[in-house]
Amino acid sequence: MLNSFKTPQRIALIGGASEIGNAVLRSLPQDGIEEVIRFDRQTSGFDAAIENARREVVSSMFTKDLDVAIIAIGALGNQESTTEEANLLRVIEVNYLATAHLLYLIASKMVTQGHGKILVISSFAQERPRIDNFAYGSTKAAIDFYARGLSHKLKNSGVEIKILRPGFVLTRMTQGMKPAPFSISAEQAGKIGAKLLQGRSTIAYAPTILRYVAIIFRNLPEIIFRRLG
Amino acid sequence: MDEVLSSSTGWGRSIHARSFDRSENIVEMQKTIRSIGGERGALAVGLRRSYGDSALNSGGLHLSSHQLQSVSMNPTSGVIRVGAGLSIASLETIALRAGYFPAVVPGTGFVTVGGAIAADIHGKSHHKTGAFSSMVMSMKVMYSDSSVRELQPTGPTSKHFWATVGGMGLTGIIVEAELQLSPVEGNHFNVHEKRSCDLNELLFDLKTADLEHDHTVAWIDLSGSYCGRGIVGMGDFAESFSKKFRNSPKQINFPLKPKGSLITPITVGAFNSMWFKKPLNSGTSSVRAFCHPLDGVNNWNRVYGEDGFLQYQFSIPDGEEEFLFTVLAKLRELKAASFLGVLKRFGASSPGYLSFPSPGWTLAVDLPVSIPNLERTLNEFDAELVNRKGRVYLVKDSRLRAEYLPAMYPHLNEWKEIRDEMDPQKLWNSDQARRLGLC
Ligand SMILES: Cc1cc2nc3c(=O)[nH]c(=O)nc-3n(C[C@H](O)[C@H](O)[C@H](O)COP(=O)(O)OP(=O)(O)OC[C@H]3O[C@@H](n4cnc5c(N)ncnc54)[C@H](O)[C@@H]3O)c2cc1C
């Protein structure tokens, strides 16, 4: 349960090494938190790509009520060492298939509980296909779409889905890439994510100004957009 | 289940739940209990005057005692058998008509008999009478196997009885109770008040008042300099009947639904200064004006705005008064002003395993949840309470950390064992129980 300060007691972070995920955790009010469970490949050997592993992880989270789940697994799919095809399959598998499945499983459990909040990390890249990251963007568009639909479906269940759409976040994942305009630190993104979790809205951009940039971005005529590309 | 989930909240309106709500008679309840599936179980609820999540069961079933209103009274002995859904206000009216009054009544009349037993509530008379359970001669409880059993404070059923007293609805549904009322001659209170200029004086005055009066309580000014000044109220049941108090007074609705809290250090400071200087009451008072002063206004809890508020109520043994000074100083630091600060002395404990009152002091403070750093401060208070053998009152709680519970309630493990025996299916559950690891 969120207590009367709206502080969660038990939180799960899937993608326990995620810099944004951890930053969100750090930005939540700490005084009521009693347990944080982290799942990641390095320390808990959790491979999100394995269907059964996802099921097991989710059922292990719900030995007690879970108040907040942060799904922060993700692949960028730009490793130069692999082929474009392998990258495509990898981003679909992690960013869409595994994330949507986890979202579905966690939400179902939370519906039984009658309460809970899930934060999904989408991306600004889902706004419009760009030549350098459209495969990645397509998976984020898909998970964003699914999360919005699910959020609508769960409107009266006590369960809330929250969608964070970060722009360029300076993390390990983006190291070596040329920072895009409006890039921010994981810490800043985390603050926005935590605020989203505690507030009433469903979607937030990080930085928040991207919300307005997105409107322009989506509405630019294709011909101009391609030139910007 | 085909019902839709409905949303409910505790009296503090700062903690919410979505659940299935039903109001049924005993036979229907039994049928429902037999057919319940799922993991979230069921919980008896009364008038939801508990402040936090004691009467909330997210994702599960709420079984309201509303239909359990039966009354039968023996006018010679003053023993009354009532349905657990009957409110204390109705109980008072019925009792008074027959020349009796319940020895223990809480600060509001809108509490059910079931809720009063489940929290083993206390009133202004605690130093003389003990808690509500002292009036309970027996009760009927519906177990999770749907059987209804009669429990008594002594004899073979006594363990189950005392686990249900203060058991927060987690042992079964109290459906009926047999209460011993006290004979009275009048229909109102003789009251008088005294102003005390600081906390030392207030503590002294309250102690003195306890020697002479059946009902005592102190309002403490939690604003301004937080020096602990206040007003001690004292009352005794009148021995004469007055026509003036024959009809119960009217109620008005709180007229606003503010988004933000109207309770700020400035409004509270102004109100409290005025209240401290008000002309002292001396003379007669209606039962409601004396016992339930806030009941004149419906929904006054909306004054705290959409975020709501909480009540922090704790008890500490004699000799630990220093903690009261610490609390005042800390609240001052936080600029946490409150117009409702209530100080009272407790007499002897009841044998209820989880019963709250224990000899010493109790302080109750209403606070808006939006006060910065309040959560951390209350956690610090809790840690200090544990050191001083104090405890927080569960029926007011919505934020205690589970780790402090066993030290605050030393009979917790015994209670758990009895609870498991009474409810092997683990049917009864609440958000508070899950939050604090009660079940
Ligand atoms: C203005 C105000 C003043 C108050 N003053 C006092 C006071 O002076 N002293 C004091 O001790 N308390 C006081 N209280 C608290 C109040 O007395 C308790 O919260 C009481 O338990 C509320 O009863 P209820 O019928 O509203 O129960 P609810 O709030 O609905 O439920 C409270 C608990 O009782 C259980 N319960 C309710 N009915 C049953 C049943 N039939 N069988 C089994 N379990 C049941 C619930 O499961 C829950 O755990 C005050 C509250 C308010 C709002």
CB A112 to CB B53 under 8 A? no
B394 CB within 6 A, ligand 1: no
B48 CB within 6 A, ligand 1: yes
Alpha helices of B119-242 — where are they, by DSSP H?
126-129, 158-164, 199-212
Q: Kindly indicate the confidence band of residue B4, based on its pLDDT and cuts at 50, 70 and 90.
A: low
The C-alpha atoms of residue A174 and residue A164 are separated, in whole angstroms, by: 17
CB B435 to CB A7 under 8 A? no
- Reported as a single tens digit per residue, the pLDDT across B56-105 is 999 999 999 999 999 999 999 999 999 999 999 999 999 999 999 999 99
Q: Does any domain span residue A78? A: yes
- Give the pLDDT confidence score for residue B346 in this predicted structure: 98
From the alpha carbon of B87, which atom of ligand 1 is closest?
25
Confidence check: pLDDT of B379 > 90: yes
Confidence check: pLDDT of B243 > 90: no
Domain range for residue A114?
10-228
Q: Does any domain span residue A1? A: no
Q: Does any domain span residue A5? A: no
B114 CB within 6 A, ligand 1: yes
Q: Does any domain span residue A211? A: yes
Q: Kindly indicate the confidence band of residue B2, based on its pLDDT and cuts at 50, 70 and 90.
A: very low
- Reported as a single tens digit per residue, the pLDDT across B337-375 is 998 999 999 999 999 999 999 999 999 999 999 999 999
A153 vs B: CB within 8 A: no
Of B57, B391, B395, best ligand 1 pocket probe by most atoms within 8 Å of the beta carbon: B395
DSSP string, B253-313: E-----SS-S--HHHHHHHHHHHHTSPPPEEEE-HHHHH-GGGGEETGGGGGTTT-EEEEE
DSSP string, B44-59: EE-S--SSSSTT--TT
- Give the pLDDT confidence score for residue A93 in this predicted structure: 96
- Give the pLDDT confidence score for residue A132 in this predicted structure: 86
Interface probe for B, chosen from A1, A2, A3, A4 (most Cβ of B below 10 Å), is A4
B124 CB within 6 A, ligand 1: no
The CATH number linked to A197 is 3.40.50.720
Q: Does any domain span residue A121? A: yes
Q: In the 3-class helix/strand/coil scheme, how is B172-186 assigned residue by residue? A: CEEEEEEEECEECCC
Tell me the ipTM for this assembly: 0.91
DSSP string, A50-87: SHHHHHHHHHHHTTS---EEEE--------TTS-HHHH
Residues in chain A with CB shorter than 8 Å from the CB of B392 are: none
Show the low-confidence residues of chain A (pLDDT under 50): none
CB A3 to CB B38 under 8 A? no
- Give the pLDDT confidence score for residue B219 in this predicted structure: 96
Confidence check: pLDDT of B246 > 80: no
- Reported as a single tens digit per residue, the pLDDT across B329-347 is 999 999 999 989 999 999 9
Q: Does any domain span residue A200? A: yes
User: Which CATH number describes the domain made up of B188-401?
Assistant: 3.40.462
- Give the pLDDT confidence score for residue B69 in this predicted structure: 97
- Give the pLDDT confidence score for residue A79 in this predicted structure: 63
- Give the pLDDT confidence score for residue B1 in this predicted structure: 36
Q: In total, how many domains does chain A have? A: 1
Query: Strand pairing of A10-14 and A68-71?
Result: parallel
Q: Which two tokens stand for residue A183?
A: 């890039």
B259 vs A: CB within 8 A: no
For residues B186 and B238, is the Cβ–Cβ distance under 8 A?
Answer: yes
Q: Which residue has the tokens 């402090």?
A: B404
Q: Does any domain span residue A68? A: yes
Active-site position among A136, A146, A205, A212: A136
Mean pLDDT, residues B233-247 taken together: 89
Q: Which two tokens stand for residue B117?
A: 């037993």
- Give the pLDDT confidence score for residue A28 in this predicted structure: 94
Does A136 participate in catalysis according to the annotation? yes
- Reported as a single tens digit per residue, the pLDDT across B176-223 is 999 999 999 999 999 999 999 999 999 999 999 999 999 999 999 999
Q: Does any domain span residue A176? A: yes
A188 vs B: CB within 8 A: no
Q: pTM above 0.90?
A: yes
Confidence check: pLDDT of B308 > 80: yes
Of B68, B111, B215, best ligand 1 pocket probe by most atoms within 8 Å of the beta carbon: B111
| pLDDT over 90 percentage in chain B | 88
B60 vs A: CB within 8 A: yes
